[in-house]
Amino acid sequence: MALKATIYKADLQLSDIDRGVYGDFPITIARHPSETDERLLIRLLAFALSVPADTDHGPLEFAKDLWEADEPGLWQKDFTGRIVHWIEVGQPDEKRLLRVSSRVDRVSVFSYSASTPTWWRGIETKLTRARNLTVWQIPADQSAALAALAQRSMQLNVTVQDGAIWMSAGERSIEVAPVRLCGGSAG
């Protein structure tokens, strides 16, 4: 029997004052049976932190990462279909990151596990050729707290100001402070 996705709907309101990016994004996202609430919310956070200021080079979209091995968690394709920004969620291996970084303009990784420092130490020196790579660690306690916001239907607000990131749903609000392990800014 085939695995079935659980469909989640999120109305994401973004106020990224630091980058001047604002918008309301109605998102329908398929959650793979092996995906956790925590990972789902990290994908939504990665979307909010990576959505482009304009769509001149195509929109940011959710890809089929857990369904298709050759796809990331999110990607931005230009109007010719060329991948402009490849976004991984989790801890991909260095071969995958090197292969992808040679084919696209930008690669971002949002890692959220408590094992991120160990994973990063193991591959950091192998990625020196990847000049277009940015790696973020979402502290494990913060990513676990984000999981509590998961609902099949969500109203999420993400505010970014002076480097501080807040994600909220109703009365619950969580500050997220990603740690840059490598590369440039999230935007």
pLDDT in tens, 124-179: 999 988 999 999 999 999 999 999 999 999 999 999 999 899 999 999 999 999 99
Does the pLDDT at position 2 exceed 90? Answer: no
Tokens of 50: 């990576």
Query: Domain for residue 1, yes or no?
Result: no
Quote the domain boundaries for residue 125: 6-182
What does pTM read for this prediction?
Answer: 0.93
CATH number (domain holding residue 74) = 3.10.640.10
Query: Domain for residue 187, yes or no?
Result: no
Backbone φ and ψ for 74, nearest 5 degrees, come out as -145, 160
Query: Domain for residue 118, yes or no?
Result: yes
Query: Domain for residue 146, yes or no?
Result: yes
Cβ-based neighbours of 90, under 8 Å, separated by 6 or more: 39, 73, 109, 111, 112, 113
Q: How many domains does the chain have?
A: 1
Which candidate, 171, 143, 141, places its Cα nearest to that of 155? 171
Query: Domain for residue 90, yes or no?
Result: yes
When pLDDT is averaged across residues 29-54 and rounded to a whole number, the result is 95
Higher pLDDT, 13 or 53: 13
